[in-house]
Amino acid sequence: MELPPISQLPWAVGHDRFLAAAGAVTGEGACCLFVIDESIPATARSGYAALVIAYARANEPVTILEGGAAALLIREGGVASGQVAARRLLQQMSRLGLQDTLRAGVAPLGGGVDAALARARELAVGASAGEVAVSA
C-alpha cells in the first residue's frame, strides 16, 4: 500500500507509533485534533500539517490522519493541558493569518486512543473556525 504524500511529512510519527505512544501514557493524557477547513485544497493541506508539527513541542508527537487532520498527543495534564496546547498552536497560526482555516478538538485518552481520536475529531468538526472545543 502506498502512503499519500501528506503522511510522509518529516517529523510526523506514523499512526502505529502514535497509538503506541498514547497507549504508554500512564497519567492523564489527551488527544488534540486539528481539522483543516474544507475550503483548503487537498494539495495545500500538507503545509498546514507541517505547521502543526513545527509548533508542537518535542514531547508532543503528531500524526497525520485522513483529510490532512493532525493529531497531537498530550502525555500529561489531560484535557486542560490539551486545551492550552491547542490554543497555543492556533495562536501561532493566527500570526500567519491562518486561524480561521483550522479548528481543534480535545478529548481525554481515558476511554482509549481510538475513542479519543474519534471524539476529538467530532469536537473539532463542530467547533467554530479558529476555536478549540473540549470534551466535557
Residue 79 to residues 17, 20, 68, 116, Cα–Cα distance (Å):
21, 19, 22, 11
Write down the pLDDT at residue 49: 80
Q: What is the pLDDT of residues 83-121, one digit of tens each?
A: 999 999 999 989 988 888 999 999 999 889 999 999 999
Q: Which of 5-9, 73-77, 92-96, 127-131 is predicted with the least confidence, judged by mean pLDDT?
A: 5-9
Q: Which fold has domain 5-134?
A: Alpha-Beta Plaits (3.30.70)
Q: Sign (positive/negative) of CA torsion 124, 113, 6, 32?
A: positive
